[in-house]
Amino acid sequence: MNIGFRSKVFLACLGLIPLGVRTSLAGSGRSVAEEQKPKSQAARTFNRDVAPVVFNHCAACHRPGGSGPFSLLTYQDVRSHARQIAAVTANRFMPPWLPEPGYGKFVGERRLTDEQIQTIQQWISGGTPEGAAADLPPLPTFSDGWELGKPDLVVKLPPYVLLAGANTDSWPRFVLPIPVSGTRYVRGVEIHPGNPKLVHHCYIAVDRTQTLHIANGEVYEVGSTGMDGQFASGNAELDSRFLTWRPGSPPYMEPEGMTWRLDKDTDLILIMHLLSPGKSEPIQPSVGFYFSDQPPTKTPMIVRLEQDGNIDIPAGARDFEISDDLELPADVKVLSILPHAHYLCKEMRVFATLPDGTRQWLIWVKRWDFDWQGVFRYAEPVSLPKGTILSMRYTYDNSSDNARNPNSPPRRVVGGQKSTEEMADAWIEVLPERREDLFALEIAMMRHKLAKYPQEPSGYADLGAALRAMGKNQEALDPLRQAAQLNPNNVQVQNNLGAVLGSLGNFDEAIPHFREALNLRPDYFMACFNLANALRLHGDLPQATRYLQQAVELKPDSVEAHNQLGLVQARQGKLKEAIAQFQEALRIKPNDPLAQQSLERAQAADSEPETRNKTSKPDIEIRP
């Protein structure tokens, strides 16, 4: 039976799994206290010796409202769980910290030193004395529940009822209602999952196209695909961050110069991996945002090594290895890493091979634990030159000897999002030396993905969209056509293919793709807007007017749509209607230069009837 979400830790700490105080080290057969206690030493006390260890390394989870099953903020709290604490710290089961020492230096390492472990053992063997009150350090503070301090904005979602049932996993997605009217710069995000005992982990993904919002509303559940953060290609920023909550991983502020942009029409999607409770329970997530006045000057992005689509682990296999390798097309600095797999994985190695053959370790996890995954930030960025090979080597145990194996007896396991399936991912946050290198990294990842999965439509779609974003329209054409052939019902592929064809002047072929995108999703603003522009450039002003009017209805606050509609109306001599559109554009965005200039010209033409039909404006490029 699969015990699941941190349950082994909790059961051990609660004493339901027998763990004795006489936990031995290095196979000596003797307890830590017996092995290493000095013969002449003042008795260890809680207040002087143990409390600093517990407050610094345990309280973040073991506090009221934390993810731990009980609090460890008082002497009585710790004393009542002393035997369990001694056992799980001696075998380094607690505090949970996966990376091996010497294979990457990380911020906030929770690994206890040998001396700290001995202190706990010696305190217990000495009778758990409390000690002098004056020796007790101040209690750790958590800023009224917000570890980063009071947020500038708190978004609290309506209660969501997690139903009890046979399924062990669910992945609800929530569109966060962000009340911003313009552009804000975010320097930190802190997620409160609402009920940390039911939340395995959660994270925020950026959906700049608002695709899910339009299709599904404010709050909805989409099932097992919920852990996939890729919502739409072609309209996303290349820079990206780890915006996540995982038990025991504290939130943090972005480094200097690395704020990220949050716009009015951007959706933030909270994706939660929830475990089925014994009874139906509500959860109410909330997210705190910390803003800055400073725009970003550095643009990191996340590079992904993975082999999810090629995982096929036979039943009984004890040392099944998954690997992936990616050559860096640019100089980068590695800022953080998030390794990910499920219950069958037992060891993870991620390293870089420099052009001169030198190996640079990024992380080595010898005892992977799915219940304590996290983002690991490097104490100092790791510099990697162009031509470096990033490598991932994960080992899986699908035998009955693996106590975490969710299947008894073992069965064949393939790649998938469910916890009973498997994944092999290493998400690596890198900072390119130059901003333009973001595109090179993006293209390298897309081509690498296609080499692994040549029949996957999303690979061609993403590559085409990335090339389009770089202005390489001719290169984008073939992958987008391939994507449309493999998946003709993808509205964004149809729109992007139309945009590329339009940019190359092939309106006869572009227009049907825009029409098909709009047929698949009638409320898709960009397809409607792009179709109108293609018709305008093709000389069909009446049809262009029709679709621009529809675009304005779909997005009344689009300055660009009002301006384009006004220009098309002016070219047809409908000056009063054009003036109204330019005025509306200026109401939405005062001092918009195109609307201001167009309004002045339309008003001048309207006052001189003989010039009414001469009002014109240069064409504006079709947008994806």
Same-domain check for residues 34 and 133: yes
Whether residue 157 lies inside any domain: the answer is no
Spatial distance between the Cα atoms of 93 and 359, rounded to a whole number of angstroms? 29
Q: What is the pLDDT of residue 173?
A: 83
Q: What is the pLDDT of residue 223?
A: 45
State the residue range of the domain holding 21.
Answer: 7-140
Q: What is the pLDDT of residue 466?
A: 83
Whether residue 533 lies inside any domain: the answer is yes
Spatial distance between the Cα atoms of 410 and 400, rounded to a whole number of angstroms? 6
Whether residue 350 lies inside any domain: the answer is yes
Q: Please report the sign of the dihedral spanned by the C-alpha atoms of residue 100, residue 101, residue 107, residue 113.
A: positive
Output the 3-class SS for 496-553.
HHHHHHHHCCCHHHHHHHHHHHHHHCCCCHHHHHHHHHHHHHCCCHHHHHHHHHHHHH
Same-domain check for residues 465 and 602: yes
Output the 3-class SS for 187-221.
EEEEEECCCCCCEEEEEEEEECCCHHHHHHCCEEE
Same-domain check for residues 386 and 525: no
Mean pLDDT of 110-128: 91
Q: Please report the sign of the dihedral spanned by the C-alpha atoms of residue 585, residue 590, residue 594, residue 599.
A: positive
Q: What is the pLDDT of residue 220?
A: 60
Domain's final residue, options 226, 261, 292? 292
Same-domain check for residues 468 and 447: no
Q: What is the pLDDT of residue 96?
A: 85
Domain's final residue, options 261, 292, 323? 292
Cβ proximity of 120 and 86 under 8 Å: yes
Q: Which domain CATH number covers 536?
A: 1.25.40.10
Same-domain check for residues 133 and 68: yes
Residue 108 pLDDT exceeds 50: yes
Q: Which domain CATH number covers 447?
A: 2.60.120.230
Residue 560 pLDDT exceeds 90: yes
Query: C-alpha 37: how far from its chain's center?
Result: 46
Same-domain check for residues 429 and 463: no
Same-domain check for residues 600 and 506: yes
Q: What is the pLDDT of residue 598?
A: 92
Residue 607 pLDDT exceeds 70: yes
Residue-wise burial string across 363-387, b where 16 or more C-beta atoms lie within 10 A, e elsewhere = bbbeebbbbbbbbbbbeebbebeee
Whether residue 624 lies inside any domain: the answer is no
Instruction: Provide the token pair at 54.
Output: 């517990």
Q: What's the chain's length in residues?
A: 624
Instruction: Provide the token pair at 384.
Output: 């990697």
pTM summary value: 0.77
Whether residue 539 lies inside any domain: the answer is yes
Whether residue 619 lies inside any domain: the answer is no
Spatial distance between the Cα atoms of 54 and 275, rounded to a whole number of angstroms? 28
Same-domain check for residues 247 and 282: yes
Q: Which domain CATH number covers 203?
A: 2.60.120
Burial class, 126, CB count within 10 angstroms (exposed 0-12 / middle 13-18 / buried 19+): middle
Same-domain check for residues 490 and 397: no
Same-domain check for residues 443 and 523: no
Q: What is the pLDDT of residue 157?
A: 86
Same-domain check for residues 472 and 420: no
Same-domain check for residues 444 and 535: no
- Which H or E element spans position 442? helix 437-452
Q: What is the pLDDT of residue 216?
A: 61
Grade residue 140 by pLDDT with cuts at 50, 70 and 90.
confident
Cβ proximity of 139 and 410 under 8 Å: no
Q: What is the pLDDT of residue 610?
A: 56
Q: What is the pLDDT of residue 134?
A: 93
Domain's final residue, options 454, 472, 490? 454
Q: Which of 39-43, 88-92, 342-346, 609-613 has the highest mean pLDDT?
A: 342-346
Domains: count for the chain: 4
Whether residue 622 lies inside any domain: the answer is no
